[in-house]
Amino acid sequence: MTVDEGRLSETFAALANPTRRAILARLAGGAATVNELAEPFGITLPAISKHIKVLEQAGLVRRGQRAQYRPCALDAARLEEVSTWAEQYRPIWEARFDRMDEYLRQLRPQRKTGQR
């Protein structure tokens, strides 16, 4: 597991929860405060804050700096990265084939005479 894979797992773990996905879908319509987010879900403020913290740590949500409201906004960059599992695998495979190439180079002196 590379660093990227670890980060990916974190993001996916954050996205794996239906309430958190709903929060993101709500934020897709524009920034909102914690109070505004809590309302439609009928859950307590501490509970919604916990979800938001998970999303924030996963890099999916940014929070404003204004102490009173600290509105939440969607961080699109990370979503773009994780939009498909396949796109996440591409750099992993590219790195593997770079290593394969390097390994083949190391083997080369040994197989000089054995080539078909």
Interface residues with another protein (CB under 8 A) are: 1-2, 5, 9, 12-13, 15-16, 18, 21-22, 24-25, 28, 74, 76, 79-80, 83-87, 89-90, 92-97, 99-104, 107-108, 111, 115-116
Choose between 67 and 85: whose C-beta lies nearer to another protein.
Answer: 85
Cβ proximity to another protein, 2 vs 44, nearer residue: 2
- Give the nearest distance from C-beta 96 to another protein in angstroms: 6
Evaluate whether 15 touches 82 at the Cβ level (below 8 Å).
Answer: yes
Least CB distance to another protein at residue 100 (A):
4
Backbone angles phi and psi of 65, in degrees to 5: -90, -15
Beta-bridge mates of residue 63: 72
Smallest separation (angstroms) from another protein to the CB of 74: 7
Which is nearer to another protein, 57 or 89 (by Cβ)?
Answer: 89
Tell me whether residue 68 or residue 84 sits nearer to another protein (CB atom): 84
